[in-house]
Structure 1
Amino acid sequence: MSASPNRLVAVELDEESIGRGSPDIEHERAVAIYDLLEENHFALNGHDSGPYQLRLSIQEKRLVFDIRDEAGGPVVTHILSLTPFRRIVKDYFLVCESYYQMIRTASPSRIEAVDMGRRGIHNEGSRILTERLEGKIDVDFDTARRLFTLICVLHWKG
């Protein structure tokens, strides 16, 4: 794990914002948080008080990044419109649903084709997130990918 102050050391999803998903969704959530905490770049513009804790939630149809210092003291809250994410999250869920059904029965070549589509949509969602955070939070591509996964989990209502 990096010793850089520009990183997350804790990530929490607001339990009121999420529903319990399928075992596949719960697995994605756990893996995304684990991977995010193992390696990430998360730098707040105008702050150098990291490392940080992050609590993600959806409140009044907005994505809320509640950022705290390592001890839990408030640093800043960024609120983003969910509108730019709606289509990409919907597309991602549709492809994921197909993917999870296929991994049980389809040929490896079909699974690979759907997985490539799934990764492409995921990359697009990560790019949108990076753009929306510009000027507020600097993240690398892998951090954006893992955060996008968590945003999708917040949208999942079972």
Structure 2
Amino acid sequence: MKRFLGALALGALAAGAALAEPACRDDEVLLRGDWGQARFTIELADDEAERAQGLMHRESLPQGAGMLFVYPEARSVGFWMKNTLIPLDMIFIDATGTVARVHSNATPGDLNPIMGGSDVKAVLEINGGLAERMGIAPGTQLRHPAFAAERAGWGC
């Protein structure tokens, strides 16, 4: 009987641990919406040089990977695909970590600006077409340490 109670207690602890929020890390983002949840391993572009380089000259991007462009303050942003060799989805995120706009399948090499809006704090780039397949759309919440906990819809 004592062994059985010990196993129940361990099972309850394991169930409680499953309910805990995953830790925030600089090298990943978590997304959630009515479609479910997803995790991407990311490269962080949080200064001018890194944002200017972006994903240029890359021949591939792993399926569960992306790049998160973070700005010091929310602003109007536009992206282009100069020297970008792979189609990308651009997910524009406001200061609360909420997806405001998704641009799907940006065309490699296209020099036309892709505007994200006037209140963009960050942009997540992932493989082209993936956002639509997963259901990532306006209203989806993103979790990352770049979003101030007091403003974030899904804070760290």
TM-score range, shorter chain: under 0.3
Higher relative contact order (CA 8 A, sep 6+): 1
Please report the TM-score for the alignment, with normalisation by the length of structure 2.
Answer: 0.26
The structure with the greater share of residues assigned to strand is 2
Q: Which has the larger radius of gyration?
A: 2
